[in-house]
Amino acid sequence: MSGSVLIGVGMVGSAFAPSLHWLYLTYGIITGVGFGMCHLVANVTVNLQFDRRRSIAIAIASSGSGCGNITIPWLTTMWLDMYGWRQTFLLLAGIGIQGVVCGAVLFNIHTENESHPNDVGKLTNSSLQTAVGKVLKTPSFLIFAVSGFCTAMAYFVPYVMVPELAKTRDVSPTDTALIFTVSGASSILGRVLIGLIIDIAQINRIWTLTIALLIGGIATIGCAFVYDKWLFIAYGVILGVFTGTFGFLQSVITVDLLGTTLLGIGFGFLTLFHGIAVIIGPPIAGWISDVTNDNTIPFVYAGCLFCLGSFFACAVKIRLSYSVPKMDIRKSMDSSTYSDNGAFNYEDLNVIDTKL
C-alpha cells in the first residue's frame, strides 16, 4: 500500500514537473521506489500463500505485469495524443494508486508458515543482521544471484536493439510493433503454461530455468542473422516465453534455496542485483554498437550473457545435487528459524545450514 502511494505521489509530482531534472526525482526515484516495493511484496506474499502449486500461482500473478506491458503503452500513446503528457501522468497516477485497494485486500492474509503481523514482535538488529549474513553466505544463492545478474544485463537489450536491427532489414514499423505485441502475449501464456507443467509434471525449476536461458541465448545470437519479418516475429515468441520463465521463477527458486523465512531478504537482494545489471546492460550494448558500427554484435553480446546465466543456473543445480536439500529440512527452516516473539534462533539455523 505504501508503494502504491509512492507511485501515485511520484506520478502526480511528475505531472507538475517544471523541468526534466525534476522528473529524475518524481518519476525516477519516488515512483521507482514505489514500483520496487510493490514488486517485492507481491512476489513474497504469493510465495508465502502457496506451497504445492507455488509455480503456477506465481506464474498467474506475474502475468499481470505482462498484461500491463501490452496495454499501458497503448493507453499512454492514446492519452498523450488526446490530453498531453501532464494529464497522462495524472491518469497513470490514478491507475497506480489502485494498488492501495489490492494491498487492503491482502492486508489480513497470513500463511501457514507466517504468523499474523499483529502477533509477531519486531526483529532485533542482531537477528536481522544474522539473517542477512546467512543469505549472503549461502553459496547456492550467491551462484543463483550471479546467474540472475548475467541474465538481467541482457534482459532489455533485445527490446532496445530489435527496432534498429529490424529497420536495417527493411521491416516496417508496424511489423516491428507486432514483434513486441507477440512477445508480450507469449510472455503471459508462457508463464502460465510453464508454471502449470512444472507443478503437474514435477519438473525441476532450476533445470527449467537453465534450459529457458540457453534457448533464449541461442535465439538471441541467431537474431543477428535474421532478415525476414516472420523470423523476427518467431524470435519475439521465443523471447516472450523465455523472459516470462525467467521473471516468475526467480522468487520461486529463491524459496527453494532459502526457505520462506528468508525469502523477503533473499529476494530483496536478488532484485537489487538485477536492478544494477539492468542499469549497465543496455548502455554497454549501445556502446558496443557505436564502437563497432554494427548493430548485430549487441545480439551476440546479449546471447552470450543469457548462456552465461544458464551456465551459472546449471552450477546451482550441480552444487545442490551434492548436498541434501530435503523438503523436511526446508520446512524446518521455514517454521523454526524465528521464534514466536520474532527473535532469531541461531542454533536451529546453524543445524539446518549444516544439513543443507
Do residues 206 and 313 lie in contact, with contact meaning Cβ atoms separated by under 8 Å? yes
Q: Report the candidate in 143, 343, 350 with the shortest Cα–Cα distance to residue 257.
A: 143
3-state secondary structure (DSSP) of residue 115: coil
Read off the C-alpha cell for 19: 523541468
- In the chain, what are the domain boundaries? 1-121, 124-356
What span, in angstroms and rounded, lies between the C-alpha atoms of 129 and 234? Answer: 47
Higher-confidence residue: 27 or 203? 27
What pLDDT, on the 0 to 100 scale, is given for residue 31? 93
3-state SS, residue 296: coil
What CATH number does the domain located at 124-356 have? Answer: 1.20.1250.20
Angle, in degrees to the nearest 10, between helices 229-258 and 205-223? 150
What's the mean pLDDT in 318-329?
A: 58
Q: 56-115, pLDDT tens digit by residue?
A: 888 888 888 778 777 887 788 889 888 999 999 999 999 999 888 888 887 766 544 444
**Contact call for residues 159 and 180 (beta carbons, < 8 A):** yes
C-alpha cell at 64: 499481470
Q: What is the pLDDT of residues 198-246, one digit of tens each?
A: 888 888 888 999 999 999 999 999 998 988 888 989 998 998 888 888 8
Taking the C-alpha atoms of 144, 147, 149 and 153 in order, what is their torsion angle to the nearest 10 degrees? -160
For 108, other C-beta atoms within 10 Å of its C-beta total 9
Question: Does residue 300 register a pLDDT over 70?
Answer: yes
Contact criterion met (CB below 8 Å) for 165 and 286? no
Rounded to a whole number, what is the distance in angstroms from the first to the last CA of the chain? 36
Q: How far apart (Å, rounded) are the C-alpha atoms in residues 255 and 250? A: 9
What is the pLDDT confidence band of residue 263, given thresholds at 50, 70 and 90? confident
Q: Which of 208, 205, 214, 217 is nearest to 154 (CA)?
A: 217
Beta carbons within 8 Å of 352's beta carbon, 6+ residues apart? 329, 332, 333, 337
Q: Kindly report the average pLDDT of the chain as a whole number.
A: 81
> Which pLDDT score, from 0 to 100, does residue 7 have?
94
Identify the band that residue 344 occupies on the pLDDT scale cut at 50, 70 and 90.
very low
pLDDT for 132: 85
Per-residue cell: 218: 541461442
* Overall residue count recorded for the chain in this entry: 356
CA–CA separation, 85 vs 91, rounded Å?
10
What distance in Å separates the CA atoms of residue 329 and residue 251, rounded to the nearest whole number?
19
Whole-prediction pTM = 0.76
Distance CA 37, CA 80 (A): 27
Dihedral sign, Cα of residue 199, residue 320, residue 307, residue 155: positive
**For residue 40, pLDDT beyond 90:** no
pLDDT bucket at 168, cuts 50 / 70 / 90: confident
C-alpha cell belonging to residue 151? 541474465
Cβ within 8 Å of residue 113, ≥6 positions away: 48, 260, 261, 331, 334, 335
- Determine contact, residues 338/261, Cβ cutoff 8 Å: yes
The answer to whether the CB of 310 falls within 8 A of the CB of 185 is no
The DSSP H or E segment spanning 335 is helix 327-336
Asked if residue 154 lies in contact with residue 243, where contact means CB atoms within 8 angstroms, the answer is: no
